[in-house]
Amino acid sequence: MHSVKSTEVNSPETLSPRPAPPDFFPFYIVPGISNFRDIGGWPSATGQIRKGILYRGSDTNRVQPDGIVKLQGLGIKTDFDLRSKQQIEKTGGYKEIDGIERKWTPVFNDEQYTEEAARKRYELYAGEGADGIVEAFVEILTSGAQMFGTVLRQIIATVPTPTDSDMRTAPALFMHCTTGNNRTGVFIALLLLLLDVPTELVVNDYTLSEQGLAPTRHINVDRLLKKGAFEEYGPDEARRKCERMVGARAESMLALVEEVDRRWGGPKGYFKQEVGLGNAEVQKLRDILIVPAPSVG
């Protein structure tokens, strides 16, 4: 039997290569942006979620020239940046992209994104069970309700319904936080639930961030470690907690769905009570974002 030296087992050069970016739908390979995908394509109770209107992903700080070409080719006209001021400053600002208007719509204001508040959220995200992360998710939904209303009302105002003659020229939107799994993931999940996508598929969509972030997980984990996240736990446990922070566990989203039902009576209650959408606006969103399911055969 061939023996392997222990020094080789632990050597980074002998570890499994990092996974390539996923290239199956709903993912798109956009060089420099991880976890980039279309929210469309999922079956709804009355059809299918429309493709090519709303995209999600991580921030654009490291987008490459061919990544910019890809974004432009997808017809994206607006970039909604959900990050807080401190996050943007610490990562070197933001990327201006020709032909795409950046709209800064932070989920948390300056007072909500202090070092102390951020560390508390880290603990909630990295906890073993679902209670902590659901608490963090509910804070996202309440603090970011105004932002969400801004995004959705832009869709209502600028995207024609599928029956309109100019449907092919519909301007697309891109919505992102830092990694695209927590803030962005929670809002997209609630939107899909509003559009009658079955819960199990909404959970599936949320967990796709595990694959979407896999190629760059080491970058995000190292960034958190350099910030001193969880350093009081020691290096091994700190790394494990950081890896949980940039994960997307099914049980987390299932627990959030239950909490939304308990707190707001379901997604419609959330959109009406927190986001402030009226019945006509909810119906307009449904008219825009739900299309007939493709025929089989």
pLDDT digits (tens, 9 = 90+) for 114-145: 777 777 777 777 767 788 899 999 999 999 99
Tell whether domain 43-290 is in CATH 1.10.287.1260: no
Q: Of all residues in the chain, what percent carry a pLDDT higher than 90?
A: 62
Where do the domains of the chain lie?
Answer: 43-290
Residue 10: pLDDT above 60? Answer: no
pTM to 2 decimal places: 0.87
Given a cut of 90, whether residue 233 has pLDDT beyond it is: no
246-279 pLDDT, tens digit per residue, is: 778 999 999 999 999 999 999 999 999 999 999 9
Instruction: Give the tens place of pLDDT for each residue, 181-229.
Output: 999 999 999 999 999 999 999 999 999 999 999 888 777 787 777 776 6
Q: What is the DSSP string of the chain?
A: -----HHHHT-GGGSPPPPPPP-STTB--BTTB-S-EES---EETTEEEPSSSEEEES-STT--HHHHHHHHHTTEEEEEE---HHHHHHTT----BTTBEEEE--SS-GGGG-HHHHHHHHHHHH-SSSHHHHHHHHHHHHHTHHHHHHHHHHHHHHPPPTTSTTGGGPPEEEEE-SSSSSHHHHHHHHHHHHTT--HHHHHHHHHTHHHHHGGGHHHHHHHHHHTTTTGGG-HHHHHHHHHHHT---HHHHHHHHHHHHHHHSSHHHHIIIII---HHHHHHHHHHHEEPPPP--
The pLDDT value given to residue 167: 55
* pLDDT at site 164: 66
